[in-house]
Amino acid sequence: MVSNDELNVPQEDLVQAWQQTLPERLHGGDQAEIMLDEADPNALRVHIRTAGHQMMEFDFAVRYVDSREIAIQLTDVERDGQTIDERGEIVQELIADYRRHLHETAQALHHYTHS
């Protein structure tokens, strides 16, 4: 199903909205940084640092398929600054958790992105 429901929000405004909304959905102490994707005006780059002793960092590309739906791609996982294999069970659980938080953030911003 193809949608003609395009995203019509300036990318800088979208970054700001995500920067305000995503941290509310993360676990206490986790930190998120939202950046523009300069190659794609409908996409954002999301960098999440886990709280606690794990010292893990996750990078996601979040692309708006239309004004409501996002596609998420994991681009990197690091521990102590070193890229790690993301196939481990604990890492997979964290990835699933963060993907859910990204979808929740997009849902929370429907009023903003879907005009």
Q: What is the pLDDT of residues 69-89, one digit of tens each?
A: 999 999 999 999 899 999 999
- Cβ 23 vs Cβ 108: under 8 Å: no
CA gap 35, 62 in Å, rounded: 10
The rounded distance, in Å, linking the Cα atoms of 112 and 8 is: 10
CATH topology of domain 11-113: Alpha-D-Glucose-1,6-Bisphosphate; Chain A, domain 4 (3.30.530)
Instruction: Please name the residue ranges forming H helices in 1-115.
Output: 11-25, 89-108, 110-113
pLDDT at residue 94, as a whole number: 94
pLDDT band of 4, cuts 50, 70, 90: low
- How high is the pLDDT of residue 115? 67
Q: Which tens digit of pLDDT belongs to each residue from 17-59?
A: 999 999 999 988 999 999 999 999 999 999 999 988 778 999 9
- Distance between alpha carbon 80 and the CA centroid of its chain, in Å? 21
